[in-house]
A and B are shown apart, each in its own frame.
Chain A
Amino acid sequence: MRISVSRVWRNRHVNYRMRAATCKSCGSITFPYQPVCSRCRGRNVEPVDLRGTGRIVSYTVNYQYREGFDRQAPQIVALVELDDGPKVLGVLTDVEPEEVYEGQRVSAVLRRVSADSYHGIIYYALKFRPVRDGS
């Protein structure tokens, strides 16, 4: 079995809802969610689901994919500055490499990322899609 069912289940909030940790003591926001604040080491953190919208700061078109991600090549990876604060690295979807530009608005969407074809387990997670007029 290549994909752990319990791991998929355990991480569902991060990967389906973009769950981050907000520190009630120092205010810092950490994505993905973790039970402690890295900045002040306090345990007074609360889960917050980020809106998943932001803009592209930087991006790369990656041709050396990982095993299990063959169908997604070439993979466009972007550094996204979220409207909620943190910068995250994300995989872009529903866009061709030549259509991507810095400053582009993007929004997180749920996508099928990988699958364990033998056991029928599917790994869903968030990717980013450009926000287009009317979408």
Chain B
Amino acid sequence: MVKVFLTAASTFKVGRHYNMGFGDLAAEVISSLESSVRSSQIDAVVVASAYPEKTGDQVMLASKVVTQMGLGDRVMGLRTEQGDASGLVALAVGYSLVRAGLANNVLLLGMEKQSEFPSRRLNDIVAQNLDEVYAHGVGLTNHAVAAILMREHMKRYGHDYEYYASWPITMHENGKQNPHAYLDFKVNLETVKSAQVVSEPLRLFDLAPRADGAAAVLLSSDEFAPKVSDSRVEVGPVCSSTIRVDYEPRLLSAANSMRYALDAVGLSMSDVDLFEVHDSYSVMASMILEETGLTPPGRGLELLQHIPINLGGGLKARGYPGGATGIYQLAEMYGHLTGTFQGRKVENVEVGLVQGMSDLGETSLATVLRVM
């Protein structure tokens, strides 16, 4: 059976790139992978992007990348869209192509533009995540749904607001050291507690800042991987779980996807050296970490004291580039596993768990990256 390796990665600083369109972002990250792209024959490009129709009046992003970058007329272009989970869905597609022997090298490219409009317009675009018939039309927003989940989490576990503040404080400490982080500054408890209320009890620092971004990773079959890279980072099966939000303060989709991904490679939670999780909101980070079983129910954020998590600053501080997020997560984890990450590091990372999901966690995906 063909094995799948991650052989190269590139990220571009998340931010407000008013002077860059999709083509500029693609050129930026693919050009920095030029030597890897040259030494491999790319068979497919999978673009992960959630909202380009609304934010940029664009479709056919993958085909445009293939022609703009001159990747060759045999290269197949595809795009994945599952909201903010699009990045890891792109991994699932690329992984499947390589594993099935249909492609030797697949480029995954995450791209999102979210800084073009004022926040009320962006809130409207992101609300496309909500159901078509009722919730979207009545004017609900993702933030309000997350606020209800936070309120339920607080009630269930008796937390006050300060419990959640540990997340942005730690993520900003991490982000400060990451050159590709959007919010590369520290914050203290007072700043977090007194920040603007978005949707009670959610305040500004409890949600991840949406911005522009692009990242790319290259997948290669075991036969081709040595031609591209000396590193040996194997990608495990990409596992997914999808469950309707029922407003209970749990994230069963995250629980399932992480467990399936570890089971698929015969490992357990305690084998994981580094976690990368989809912290669209602080309460989501808490709930995801609770689902690892490494902490008592309701106390997920206490894991920050014990295990390395989101060393690049997570969505909170690195920034939240929508459907491109999963590709950033993979690229950063690749950096940790190969010792090339330009930011906060830990020693001896050999097993990394990457978990990514839609904004509110209806669908979650996970995979294990390992140094072989």
Chain A partners chain B: yes
Residues on A close to B: CB < 8 A? 11, 14-15, 31-33, 38, 57-70, 72, 75, 77, 79, 87-91, 113-114, 123, 125-127
Q: Is the CB of A65 within 8 A of B123?
A: yes
In the complex, the answer to whether A64 meets B199 with C-beta atoms within 8 Å is yes
**Are A126 and B138 also in contact (CB < 8 A) when A33-B133, A60-B151, A70-B120 are?**
yes
* B327 on interface, CB distance cutoff 8 Å: no
Residues of A contacting B138 with CB < 8 Å? 15, 90-91, 113, 125-127
Does chain A have a CB within 8 A of B198?
A: yes
Alpha-carbon distance A32/B123, docked complex (angstroms): 22
Q: Which residue of A lies closest to B245 (CB)?
A: A89
| B148 & A60 in contact (Cβ 8 Å cutoff) | yes
Report if A15-B137 is in contact (Cβ < 8 Å); known contacts: A67-B121, A89-B247. yes
Can you give 25 contacting A-B residue pairs, CB < 8 Å? A11-B133, A14-B134, A15-B133, A15-B134, A15-B138, A58-B152, A62-B141, A62-B199, A62-B200, A63-B197, A64-B198, A66-B120, A66-B124, A66-B127, A67-B123, A68-B124, A68-B139, A75-B141, A77-B147, A77-B199, A79-B152, A79-B247, A113-B138, A125-B134, A127-B138
A60 touches B199 (CB 8 A): yes
Option from A60, A67, A79 in Cβ contact (under 8 Å) with B202: A60
- Residues from chain B with a CB closer than 8 A to the CB of A72 are 139
Contact yes or no, B134 A31, CB < 8 A:
yes
Point out the residue from A58, A63, A88 that lies within 8 Å of B155, measured CB to CB. Answer: A58
Interface residues on chain B, size class: 20 to 34
Residues from chain B with a CB closer than 8 A to the CB of A38 are: 244
Please tell me if the beta carbons of B124 and A32 are within 8 angstroms of each other in the complex: no
Q: Identify whether the interface residues of A are mostly helix, strand, loop, or mixed.
A: strand
Q: A66 and B139: CB pair below 8 A? A: yes
In the complex, per-residue mask of B174-205: 1 if CB is within 8 Å of any chain A CB, else 0: 00000000000000000000001111111000
Check B246–A89 contact: CB distance below 8 A.
no
- At the interface, yes or no: B131 with Cβ under 8 Å from chain A? yes
Contact (A60, B134) CB under 8 Å given A38-B244, A70-B120, A75-B139:
no
Does B143 reach chain A (CB closer than 8 Å)?
yes
B99 to chain A, nearest CB (A): 29
Q: Does B272 sit within 8 A of A, measured CB to CB?
A: no
Residues in A with CB closer than 8 Å to B152 are: 58, 79
Instruction: Check if B247 sits within 8 Å of A67, measured CB to CB.
Output: no
Q: Is the CB of B141 within 8 A of A87?
A: no
Rounded to whole Å, the gap between the CB of B208 and the closest CB of chain A is 14
B121, A77: Cβ atoms closer than 8 Å: no
In the complex, what distance in Å separates the CA atom of A88 from the CA atom of B133?
13
Known contacts A58-B155, A67-B123, A68-B124; 11 additional CB pairs below 8 A are: A11-B134, A61-B199, A62-B200, A63-B197, A63-B198, A65-B120, A77-B199, A79-B247, A90-B138, A113-B138, A125-B134
Q: How far is the CA of A119 from the CA of B151 in the complex (A)?
A: 39
Q: Which residues of B contact A32 (CB under 8 A)?
A: 131, 133-134
Question: In the assembly, what is the distance between CA of A33 and CA of B134, in Å?
Answer: 9
Contacts of A14 in B (CB 8 A): 133-134
Is there a chain A Cβ closer than 8 Å to B140's Cβ? Answer: yes
Minimum CB–CB distance from B294 to chain A (whole Å) comes to 28
Nearest 8 A/B pairs, CB to CB: A60-B147, A62-B199, A77-B144, A66-B124, A32-B134, A62-B144, A32-B133, A69-B139
Give the distance to chain B from A106, nearest Cβ to Cβ, in Å.
14
| Given known A33-B133, A89-B135, contact A59–B148 (CB-CB < 8 A) | yes
The reply to whether the CB of B119 lies closer than 8 angstroms to some CB of chain A is yes
The digit string for B228-269, where 1 denotes a CB below 8 A from any CB of A, is 000000000000000010110000000000000000000000
In the bound complex, how far is the Cα of B124 from the Cα of A77, in angstroms?
A: 16
Chain B nearest Cβ from A78, distance in angstroms: 8
- With A62-B199, A63-B197, A77-B148 known as contacts, the answer to whether A91 contacts B120 (CB < 8 A) is no
| Contact partners of A127 in chain B: CB under 8 A | 138
